[in-house]
A and B are shown apart, each in its own frame.
Chain A
Amino acid sequence: MTRHRKIDHPDDDNRLDSMAQGVLGKPVDRLEGPLKVSGLATYAAEARPSGMVHGVLVRATITKGRVTAIDRQAALALPGVLAVITDPRMVRYSAQGMADKGPKAGPQTVDYHGQPIALVVAEGFEQARHAANALHIAYEEEPAPVDPDAVTPEMPQAKQKAQGDLDAAMRDAAFGIDSTYTTPTLMAAAMEPHAAIAEWDGDNVTVRAALQMLASDRKQLADALGIELERVRLLAPYVGGGFGSKLGIAPEAVAAAIAAKELGVPVSVALTRMQEFDITHRRSESRQRVLLAAGADGVLTGIGHEVLVSNLPDSPFSEPVTQATPFTYQAAHRRIVHRIARVHRSCAGSVRAPGEAIGVTVFEAAMDELAEAVGIDPVELRLRNIPDREPGTGRPYSVNRLGDCLREGAHRFGWSQRRAPRERREGEWFIGMGVAAAVRVNMLIESRARVTLTEDGAKVETDMTDIGTGTYTILRQIAAEMLGLPVDAVEVHLGDTDFPPAAGSGGSFGAASSGTSVYLACEDLRTRIAERMGCAEAELRLQDGRASFRNDTRELRDLLAGEVLVAEGHVEPGDAEKQARQATWGAHFAEVAVSRYTGEVRVRRMLGVFACGRILNEKTARSQCLGGMTFGIGMALTEAVEHDPRSGHIVNRDLAAYHLPSHADVPAQDVIFLPDRDGFAGPMQAKGIGELGICGAGGAVLNAIYNARGVRVRDLPATPDKVMP
């Protein structure tokens, strides 16, 4: 039976608060923890089907043009080499998240430097890797722009917004800020590189891959291969991080499937770390002009956010940098400008919190500039500009906890100890504090799950993924809570398209969307148990494997009497998402030390206060926020892709030259969740969490650098050369 619900109205019943098991929200250890700490959780490249051979992708060494000839003789003559594959169905880059179709095919047309153009397959990995270097490739090259500042950008009408007269507001303002910031190309850089193992059984293919959203990935792969959806099965039981890079089907999965069919054996294709930089989606660099007009009291009268981002010609994605700008702060006069430079750098796509990650970070740095100009406390400036209703639309907020987060954070962090810029010194080090708001839109996506109840416990099945987000554990907790079972009595099976299709992991919507589908399936099971107890579902109490209604308590085992109950839950977004502005809220606080001699910045402590609806697991939710905050440290201080100005090629394409924060860069971090419920998000009142932590975090670090040293870095990241006054 399927329990379907479209979220057309806010659900403020808070049913989960009255369930009896008491496990939801608790810091339960990860279900798959023992497998992960002992190396037994198997990721994409870690199956070894009999007869498997290895493929290595070959990259283009021109920026734009055509492959005119590939001389394969030298490669094919090497020991173990089985094939050089250049099938026109092979794809040039990954699909954008949730696309219905495969990404652009035809690898012999080159769109960017580093694009895959062929696959060399050999019996052994070392043989394939060596042979991939032995191909002789001839190109017909065309000139192509690679510098976003050197082309005339597109300005799609639908992406421009204006209200009132911002120019007049800027002229009349007691205080105005007009600052331009730049952020570099950034990479997701998940620790597990993309990989796929494809194996055919007749006309059916099974691909084990590193993917975040199996239901749409399956459609994309079927489309790319030109076969029916039903012939494709995807497996991704464990995924070694995603951060957006594994949203869509990618070149290695398509190539592995084609090669496996052609050769009649299973084929494994894993990207090298350098290919990971070349091929996977990058977060577009941005140029952001922020205009702020304010009265003498710091109350905003005008807000402008004008951005330039880039992508390949024809790509439907452009980094939605200003996504949160329309609803974070009030001002009568507003302008959003969105420009897209069409250049032949690699394909840009979603990376953790596309839009807000860099948009909120920069906007919050500009707000710090305004606070300084007006001469009021940065926390106070923000508090004075929190709108009552969504500016522009007049819609209510589902909830708006920005003020609460700022106040709670200021109290906990000891914000009152903050001093004027350059006033606090400890020997060589200048010490400063910074604050930034955290804002991220909240979404619900259609999702299904099946829950099976037997006398031994429950089993949850869905093609949802756990990319480190805690899905296994929270789905287990939801089912345990709803069905009154100890968590150990609930199994969870994910990452297999044979299971009901889920939202997938992306856009922070995974937990609430797939969680609600499990909730609904369990609601159906509860109804059927209640019938056996002779009561209404709402009157039923389930706890520790027992069902109770008034004085009647029975073992679930006896009620089932050997029967197996199966239910499917199916949630869809509805009108509720139009009735109110839904977002998640937070505040970041950072303390940094800046060396007066070297400009080195050390983050000394960080606090994030967040309100994102019901917390499903305090432990895994906190870890998600730690991860986001640390992405913020990287964005503020160390991470930047360098493009070759001639070819657009990513020069620093490895982890020695693209600097992720390491242990020594990350101090003690605190995360606080405010108790929160948002009925507009559905019957669980739970919202997204995976991306909120990154939104604005880097801004708090930049603002702390200003407070420490009096240096305003507007060209991210704030490397020592830029921090030296």
Chain B
Amino acid sequence: MQTELFINGRVHRLEADARTTLLDALRHHLGLTGTKKGCDHGQCGACTVLVDGRRVNACLTLACMCDGSEITTIEGIGEPGALSPLQSAFIAHDGFQCGYCTPGQICSATAMMDEIAAGWPSHATGDLNAPVTTSAEEIRERMSGNLCRCACYPNIVDAILEVQG
């Protein structure tokens, strides 16, 4: 079936099997392999992308559900020579080793920072009436959907704190 996707500011017309997930559409059909497949079941977060500004697991989203949506993948966050502050901070703090979960971590953190700025509370938020502040504890709670087996967690938290702290 045909789907129109707006990815990283460009229009892509996708002709694909109706069962194609957004993740496989990106990886198999559009050559955007920066979005990673770690589990295909929404358990690891490696496929996190932004759909209309919100973070979603691309593996749990059918491509055809995104017809007309604005999608940002890691390739749209920044590229070598023009990295986003968060991407640069990940390098400086060694927020990755193998790098496979990294695009998902960065997309997730990008949206998470917006969620904090918008005042969304989390399980780690103490006072629901006070403004939400960025802390290591908030970041750990909100980023727990993104697994990293190399376990660069402390470095990722430091990278995010540097950008938003």
Binding site for B on A (CB under 8 A): 29-30, 32-43, 45-46, 48, 54, 124-127, 130, 188-193, 238-243, 270, 272-273, 467-470, 619-620, 622-624, 626-627, 629-631, 654-656, 660-664, 666-669
Sorted nearest first, the 9 A-B pairs with minimum C-beta distance are A39-B34, A240-B100, A468-B98, A468-B97, A36-B99, A630-B151, A39-B74, A34-B80, A46-B33
A550 and B37 alpha carbons, distance in the complex (Å): 57
Residues B33 and A656 in contact, CB atoms below 8 Å apart: no
Q: Does B38 contact A (CB under 8 A)?
A: yes
* Complex partner residue of A623 from B43, B81, B94, B100, CB under 8 angstroms: B94
Residues A624 and B156 in contact, CB atoms below 8 Å apart: no
A514 and B110 alpha carbons, distance in the complex (Å): 37
Instruction: Given A38-B79, A38-B80, output 8 extra A-B contacts at Cβ < 8 Å.
Output: A30-B91, A38-B83, A125-B24, A241-B150, A242-B98, A626-B151, A655-B43, A662-B147
Q: Give residues 81-120 of B contacting A (CB, 8 Å).
A: 81, 83, 87-88, 90-92, 94, 96-103, 106
Residue numbers in A under 8 Å from B75 (CB-CB): 38-40
Residues B149 and A190 in contact, CB atoms below 8 Å apart: yes
Nearest-CB distance from A488 to chain B (Å)? Answer: 13
Q: Does B73 contact A (CB under 8 A)?
A: yes
Residues B136 and A668 in contact, CB atoms below 8 Å apart: yes
A664 and B154 alpha carbons, distance in the complex (Å): 10
Residue numbers in B under 8 Å from A126 (CB-CB): 17, 19-20, 24
Residues A661 and B140 in contact, CB atoms below 8 Å apart: no
Residue numbers in A under 8 Å from B149 (CB-CB): 188-191, 241, 243, 627, 660
Nearest-CB distance from B60 to chain A (Å)? Answer: 12
Residues A654 and B39 in contact, CB atoms below 8 Å apart: yes
A313 and B19 alpha carbons, distance in the complex (Å): 41
Q: Give residues 51-72 of B contacting A (CB, 8 Å).
A: none
Residue in B closest to A661 when the chains form the complex, CB atoms: B151
* Complex partner residue of B34 from A40, A623, A668, CB under 8 angstroms: A40
| Residues of B in contact, count (CB < 8 Å) | 64
* Complex partner residue of A29 from B39, B73, B91, B141, CB under 8 angstroms: B91
Residues B94 and A620 in contact, CB atoms below 8 Å apart: yes
Residue in A closest to B97 when the chains form the complex, CB atoms: A468
Residue numbers in B under 8 Å from A191 (CB-CB): 36, 38, 44, 46, 98, 100-101, 147-150
Binding site for A on B (CB under 8 A): 16-17, 19-20, 24, 27-28, 31-41, 43-44, 46, 73-75, 77-81, 83, 87-88, 90-92, 94, 96-103, 106, 136, 139-141, 143-157
A198 and B90 alpha carbons, distance in the complex (Å): 33
A191 and B39 alpha carbons, distance in the complex (Å): 8
A647 and B151 alpha carbons, distance in the complex (Å): 33
Residue in A closest to B143 when the chains form the complex, CB atoms: A663
Residue in A closest to B101 when the chains form the complex, CB atoms: A191
Q: Select the residue from A54, A126, A188 with max chain B CB neighbours within 10 A.
A: A126
CB pairs A–B below 8 angstroms (30 shown): A30-B94, A34-B81, A37-B74, A37-B90, A37-B99, A37-B103, A38-B34, A38-B80, A54-B28, A126-B20, A191-B147, A191-B150, A238-B99, A468-B98, A468-B150, A620-B97, A626-B151, A626-B153, A626-B154, A654-B39, A654-B41, A654-B43, A655-B41, A660-B149, A662-B145, A662-B146, A662-B147, A663-B144, A663-B146, A668-B154
Nearest-CB distance from B139 to chain A (Å)? Answer: 7
Residues B44 and A655 in contact, CB atoms below 8 Å apart: yes
Residue numbers in A under 8 Å from B83 (CB-CB): 34, 37-38
Residues B99 and A655 in contact, CB atoms below 8 Å apart: no
Residues B151 and A666 in contact, CB atoms below 8 Å apart: yes
Q: Select the residue from B88, B139, B151, B157 with max chain A CB neighbours within 10 A.
A: B151
A615 and B27 alpha carbons, distance in the complex (Å): 38
Residues A192 and B19 in contact, CB atoms below 8 Å apart: no
Residue numbers in A under 8 Å from B33 (CB-CB): 39, 42-43, 45-46
A45 and B155 alpha carbons, distance in the complex (Å): 27
Nearest-CB distance from A53 to chain B (Å)? Answer: 11
A251 and B90 alpha carbons, distance in the complex (Å): 34
Residues A655 and B154 in contact, CB atoms below 8 Å apart: no
Residue numbers in A under 8 Å from B144 (CB-CB): 662-664
Residue numbers in A under 8 Å from B145 (CB-CB): 662
Q: A190-B149, A624-B97 are in contact. Are A37 and B87 (CB under 8 A)?
A: yes
A388 and B112 alpha carbons, distance in the complex (Å): 54
Nearest-CB distance from B118 to chain A (Å)? Answer: 20
Residue numbers in B under 8 Å from A41 (CB-CB): 99
Residue numbers in B under 8 Å from A242 (CB-CB): 98
